[in-house]
Structure formats: structure tokens, C-alpha cells
Amino acid sequence: MDLTRLAVDASQFINRAVQYTGESLGQADKTDLDPDLEELLIRVDATKTWTDLIVSQTEAVLQPSTAARLEERLYEHLDWPAPSRPRAQELLGDQMIQAGLEMGTSSPYGTSLLRCGEAQKQLGEAQRKFAQSATIHFLSPLRRFGVCEYKTMQEERRMLLSKRLDLDVAKSRLRSAHEAEQESRNLDANPVEDDYFSSHVSYMFRFMRVRWMKMWAQEISQAETELRISESLFHRQSEVTRQLLGEISNTHHNHMQRLSDFVDAQTCYYAQCKQHALELHKQLASVPAVLCSNKWQSSITNGAPPCQHPSAEENQVSSASAVAVVHHLPEFDQDSWTMGVSANNNNEQIPGHACPSEHEHPPSSEPASSD
């Protein structure tokens, strides 16, 4: 190990720490950076802050479960493949399918549950593809900025800070060397009178102070040389940092493209959701009609004669498309009525049975008169 180099590095670190502490306390001068460079630093910091917030919120949108997100990050840091996790809509679809099988595939409710469950699983699969596309084309480039690009910028920024502190230390040393030289001249120009003891004491302290300042500070020529070297290194590092930070405009352009890819994936996802929802809506609307048509077709194929008096179940199915017409029987009691059904398609009236009151009445031999 090179002890000389280690001692120089330790001394340099201590000088930087003293300078930085003095600047923080307002007791030391600080070299200001160029306004353009300061603006670039502000833009880079703002980009990093908002990029992290956007990435975090996008992850919350793609995966609302906090525990699932932490588990995915753990697998990512360990470089292990994350296990497949079903989506909430897929779980809902499985529950609906199981419920539909339990209710029976021949019942309208069971059929509706089965079709709705399949649609929910399709929606869950579409959401999974959207999350994968958003992660690859949107989240990964934004994360790469914080891991690679911003990290490189921070390294150059820390290097610039070190060079600036070295420059300020060199300026402070040159200023101390001039002060020591001025104190030495004043000390030699004012000889001490032998009659006064206080003058001897004052001279001794001033002499010790000058010697201490000369021990700490270098000669003026050496301090000026060190200052020129520090200024050269500082300006060179400033240019390197400015060129690197100037790439933030390209980073913004790249993020705009990634944002466009995210919107495209989102548009495709919502279009698929709309298509699945419309298909499900049509399927659910056709469930009662399909079941009724199957029932009527089975009754016709079995050769059953047409029923003049519809049953209660058929009246319930066709009640939505039928109009009830009430007829009054003149010879019956006021509590006796008969009812006919007028079909919407053929506008035919089907006479019904008389609805007797609590007291039975004899049937009338005359046909019911319609109002």
C-alpha cells in the first residue's frame, strides 16, 4: 500500500470536509456554478423525482396489491423468476364458472354465470398482457434512467463538487498565504520596545501566529500554482458534467416515445375490454330467448297438440309481449270477469276462463261480449 498516496488522500478529504462545513455554516466562500449548469442540474433532479413517482404509481395501477408488488421486487432483486399470479378478474371468472356448474347448465342463471365467467377470464388475460406490455415498453426504460443514466450523472456531479471544493480550498490557502505575508511584514516593520513587558508578550503571540499560519499555508507561489491547477480541473469537469447533463433532453424525448407506447397498449387493452363486454352483453341478452325457443321446438317435435289455454309458465314467459283485454259478463255477478290475451304479432284475441268470485256462479250459455 502506498502510504504517501493514502496520506495525501486523507489530507484532501479533510480539507474538503472543512471547506464544506464552513460553507454550510456560512463561514467560507463558495464558488458559484454557471447559471446554465445550475439549470441543467435542476432539470435532472426534477426528472429523477417525477420519474420515480410515475413509476411507483404505474406499478400501483398495474398491480394494486402492495404485497404482490413487494414480492415481485424481491424476486427481481434476487434475480429469480417470479411465480405466475392469477388476476382478480380471473379468480372472479373461476368462481362464476363453478357457480354456473353448480346451478346447472340447463338453467338460465347457470348459463349466464358460465358465459360471464368466461368473459371475466378473457378480461383478466387481456389485463395480464397489458401489464406485461406496459412493464416492458414503459416501466423498464424509466427505471433504466434511474439506475444507469442518472447514476452516471450523479457520479460526474460528485466529481464536480470535489473539484469545486478543491478550488475553494486553494483559494483559501492563497488568501491565507497573503495574510501571513502581510502579518510578517507588519511584525518586522514594528520593532518591540524593551521597556514594556506587555509589548514583549504581544510580540511573542504575533510571532507564533505568523509561524503557525506559514506552517499551515504554503508559500504564495505554491498557492498560486495549486490554484491554477484546481481552476483548470474544475473547468474541465464542468464541461464534462455539462455535456452529460445536456443529454437530459434526449432522455425526455425517449420518455415521450415510451409514454406513447404506454398509451397505445392502454388503448388496445380498453378496446379488447369493450369487445369482450359487448359480446357478453349480447350473449346474456340471448339466454332467455334461446331457452324458450328450445322448449317450444321440443314441444313441437314431440307432437304435442297446441294448447288453447296457456299454462302459468308460458304466461310468465310471454307476459312481456302480450296485452291483457278484460271482458265483462253481463249475466254474471259484478265480481265475475273473464280475460282474453291479445298477441302483439297477429293481434288475435285468445279468450280466457272466467274468474269467479268467492261465490260460485253457473256458467253462462251466451258468449262473452267484449267492450
Candidate from 72-76, 154-158, 348-352 with smallest mean pLDDT: 348-352
If you average pLDDT over each of 212-216, 272-276, 309-313, 350-354, which comes out highest? 272-276
Q: Per-residue pLDDT tens for 275-292?
A: 999 999 998 888 765 554
What is the 8-class DSSP label of residue 321? G
Q: Per-residue pLDDT tens for 127-138?
A: 999 999 999 999
pLDDT over 90 (residue 96): yes
Separation in Å, CA 175 to CA 150, 182, 188, 281, 298: 37, 11, 20, 84, 109
Right CATH number for 27-279 from 3.40.190.10, 3.90.1150.10, 2.40.50.140, 1.20.1270.60? 1.20.1270.60
Query: In the chain, what percentage of residues exceed pLDDT 90?
Result: 36
**The model's pTM:** 0.64
DSSP characters over 52-91: HHHHHHHHHHH---HHHHHHHHHHHHHT-PPPP---HHHH
pLDDT over 50 (residue 269): yes
Q: Where are the domains of the chain?
A: 27-279, 321-371
If you average pLDDT over each of 10-19, 206-215, 266-275, 304-313, which comes out highest? 266-275
pLDDT over 80 (residue 253): yes
- For 191-230, b/e burial (b = at least 16 CB within 10 A) is eeeeeeeeeeeebeebeeebeebbeebbeeeebeebbeeb
